[in-house]
Amino acid sequence: TLLLTTQRALALGGLAFHERIIGGQECPEDEHPWLVQLYNFEEPYCAGTLLNSDWIITAAHCYLQDEIRVKLGVHNQDVPRGDEAWRVSVGTFCYPDSASTTSSTCADHKDDIMLIKLNSSVTYNKHISPLSLPDYASPVGTYCTVMGWGSITTNTYPNVPHCVSIKMLKNHFCQDAYPWWSMTDNMFCAGFLEGEKDSCRGDSGGPLVCDGQLQGIVSLGGYPCGEPLQPGIYTKVYSYLQWIQNILDPVANSPDRSKLD
Where in the sequence numbering do the catalytic residues fall?
Answer: 61, 112, 204
Cβ within 8 Å of residue 28, ≥6 positions away: 163
CB 234 within 8 A of CB 190: yes
Angle value at C-alpha 229, between 228 and 233, nearest 5 degrees = 115
- Whose CA is closest to 64, among 56, 76, 72? 56
